[in-house]
Amino acid sequence: MPSRQDTLRRTVAAIDIGSNAVRFAAARATAGGGLRMLEERRRPTRLGANLATTGRLPRTAQRLTLAAVKEFCLDASRLGASVVRLVATAAVRESPDGATFVSRLSRETGFPVSIIDTDEEARLAFRSCAGTYDLSRRHVAIVDIGGGSVQIALARHGLLYDAISLPLGAVRLTAGSDGLESAKSRRHVRQHIRSVLSESLPRPGVDAGPLDAVIGCGGTFATLDALLSAHRSATGSSTPPGLAISGGKPRPLRSRARTRASVIACIDSVLRASASERESLLRACGVPEDRADILPAGLLVAEQVIRSLDPRALVTHVGGVRDGLLRDLAAPVPDPHAIVPAAREALRSFAPDELAHCTHVSHLAVSLLHELADVEPLRGTLRLEHGAAELLEAAALLHDLAVPIDYARHHKLGRRAIELTPLPFSARDRAVVANVVRYHRRALPTLEHAPFRALTPRDRDVVRVLAGILRIADGLDRAHDQGVHGLRTVVQPGRLRIVAEGVGEAGLKGARKKADLLSLALRRVVRIEPG
């Protein structure tokens, strides 16, 4: 068993196989999950080039990618990495031959390669940012413009509550075009980007409130940072008020209009420049040559994201998926048996004002579950397995997790937050808890909802029962006064009476209104009565 000192000195390495380049980083893990970077490298490969038109990974790009991955695996061994993780993103994920290529990579390097989904990609970018910036009092969008896609992660008060993946990568948008050198081609691509964003992004100031900052990750935003500095030098202007282009915390916005105008003016001037002029500017800014041809597409995406999200500030971040992987590898391994304490800690961290209500609701929900243990069909065909009480308690603790973000949609955002937050749940337990939270109010479970449809038939029944119980428990504490101090049930043919001791008029009304799901799950009329 390794000593504590060995654990603190453990070296970890990550390899990110992206659509434009392969990125490598190794770091020394320190106490508390911290990192000391040892080495960072990248190799351009263009694995996602022409994927949209050919549907295949280019053979030359495969060869370059394989060589880069082999080289970086040797680097990891040279640096003494005890843990190495390799992931592939959009290009491999979308290509029909992606799985075959990953198998080859694993076979020839001796390391397993994972194809991560879009949620995981966004989570890792958020993980990188959260390890660098204090996001506890901020409402931010983390935007990572890759070669094949753009990932947008939305977080408020440190809680990642939604992730959006859009097919707007810089390599993808550049493929088959004239390099966006003509005003006509730029106008066409700009309209396309605007259309995709308008269908997918939240409305600033309406959905979950205005954004404090867009945190831009990846090469496009790093280049934009350098270009803005060059633009300011060329024009003799100072840093625009409110525009935070830095590696620190987002600074207060003083003039949103000037911020937008300054960024967009810089982007416009770069796009209007000739290819040779742009090449000279990029060379002066120290931008890698392989990014020059895809930069116009990346800048157009950045421009439209800034217009659409309308943040108070823009912050650049040099990290991304690779750095998120390193932070995952350096973090202590969570205890999979500690889901209830983990849920309680998440509630305390992200929604402390809901702690008393959610704790009380969890007590009521678990009490009601035990009362119903011998009620058909729970006793028979739908008998809940060992651990159901833990799942229900965790869901009850987390059901109002997203209330501080947007009360009207907190059941939906709560589901997404649980899917995205690194809690010590198995994939199955996470899916069950997330769906129970989703259905604690409003709509009933339906196969029209993809997350519910993705569950096994057995787990759908589990969700119906647990969400049905949670709906009633939540309704009983509608006034948030923790007035109900006991529950008992009376089982009758075709009927279930739930007697709530100490329930007030608001709680009685709330529970009766939300008894519909449990009635369907148990195939009985459910009545709520005061004790």
The CATH number of residue 460's host domain is 1.10.3210.10
- Looking at the fold, whether 160 and 269 belong to one and the same domain comes out as yes
The pLDDT of residue 33: 65
Does pLDDT of 240 surpass 50? no
Does pLDDT of 6 surpass 70? no
Give the chain's domain count: 3
Asked if the structure places residue 334 within a domain, the reply is no
Does pLDDT of 511 surpass 70? yes
The pLDDT of residue 234: 55
The pLDDT of residue 509: 98
- Looking at the fold, whether 152 and 40 belong to one and the same domain comes out as no
What is the C-alpha to C-alpha distance for residues 297 and 326, in angstroms, rounded to an integer?
A: 29
Mean pLDDT value across the chain:
89
Q: Environment class of residue 520 by beta-carbon count within 10 Å: exposed (0-12), middle (13-18) or buried (19+)?
A: middle
Cβ atoms within 10 Å of 75's Cβ, excluding its own: 19
- Looking at the fold, whether 311 and 357 belong to one and the same domain comes out as no
- Looking at the fold, whether 28 and 109 belong to one and the same domain comes out as yes
Asked if the structure places residue 431 within a domain, the reply is yes
- Looking at the fold, whether 144 and 275 belong to one and the same domain comes out as yes
What band does 32 get if pLDDT is binned at 50, 70 and 90?
low
Q: Backbone dihedral region of 386: left (phi > 0), alpha (psi from -120 to 50 degrees) or beta? A: beta
- Looking at the fold, whether 309 and 372 belong to one and the same domain comes out as no
Q: State what percent of residues in the chain have pLDDT above 70.
A: 90
Give the pLDDT mean for 493-520. 97
The pLDDT of residue 382: 62
- Looking at the fold, whether 129 and 92 belong to one and the same domain comes out as no
What is the C-alpha to C-alpha distance for residues 118 and 102, in angstroms, rounded to an integer?
A: 17
The pLDDT of residue 113: 98
- Looking at the fold, whether 469 and 491 belong to one and the same domain comes out as yes
Of 301, 325, 349, which residue is a domain's last?
325
Find the domain containing 431 and state its range: 339-530
Does pLDDT of 285 surpass 90? no
What predicted TM-score, i.e. pTM, was given to this entire model? Answer: 0.90
The pLDDT of residue 176: 66
Token output for 113: 């390669």
- Looking at the fold, whether 48 and 181 belong to one and the same domain comes out as no
> DSSP secondary structure string, 187-256?
HHHHHHHHHHHHHHSPPTTTSS---SEEEEESHHHHHHHHHHHHHHHHHT--PPTT---SSSPPPPPS-H
What is the C-alpha to C-alpha distance for residues 155 and 140, in angstroms, rounded to an integer?
A: 5
Does pLDDT of 219 surpass 70? yes
- Looking at the fold, whether 260 and 169 belong to one and the same domain comes out as yes
CATH value at residue 80: 3.30.420.40
What is the C-alpha to C-alpha distance for residues 527 and 529, in angstroms, rounded to an integer?
A: 6
Question: How many angstroms separate the Cα of 14 from the Cα of each of 68, 86, 422?
Answer: 13, 6, 18
The pLDDT of residue 114: 97
Does residue 11 sit in helix, strand or coil?
strand
Give the pLDDT mean for 275-285. 86
What is the C-alpha to C-alpha distance for residues 137 and 110, in angstroms, rounded to an integer?
A: 43
Asked if the structure places residue 332 within a domain, the reply is no
CATH value at residue 278: 3.30.420.150
Sheet-wide strand order for 150-156: 159-166, 150-156, 139-145, 213-217, 314-317
The pLDDT of residue 317: 86
pLDDT digits (tens, 9 = 90+) for 293-302: 899 999 999 9
pLDDT digits (tens, 9 = 90+) for 384-429: 777 899 999 999 999 999 999 999 999 999 999 999 998 889 999 9
- Looking at the fold, whether 130 and 235 belong to one and the same domain comes out as yes
Q: Sign (positive/negative) of CA torsion 427, 428, 434, 438?
A: positive
Please name the helix (run of DSSP H) or strand (run of DSSP E) that holds residue 2, with its range, or none. none
Does residue 476 sit in helix, strand or coil?
helix
Token output for 375: 């009620």
Least confident range from 189-203, 290-304, 365-379: namely 365-379
Q: Are strands 314-317 and 150-156 parallel, antiparallel or unpaired?
A: unpaired
Does pLDDT of 506 surpass 80? yes
Note the helical H segments in 79-146: 90-94, 98-109, 118-130
Of 273, 303, 325, which residue is a domain's last?
325
The pLDDT of residue 243: 35
- Looking at the fold, whether 152 and 80 belong to one and the same domain comes out as no
CB 169, CB 148: distance < 8 Å: yes
The pLDDT of residue 339: 94
Which neighbouring-strand residues pair with 15?
A: 24, 86
Sheet-wide strand order for 486-492: 486-492, 495-501, 525-530
Question: How many angstroms separate the Cα of 238 from the Cα of each of 137, 222, 268?
Answer: 28, 19, 18
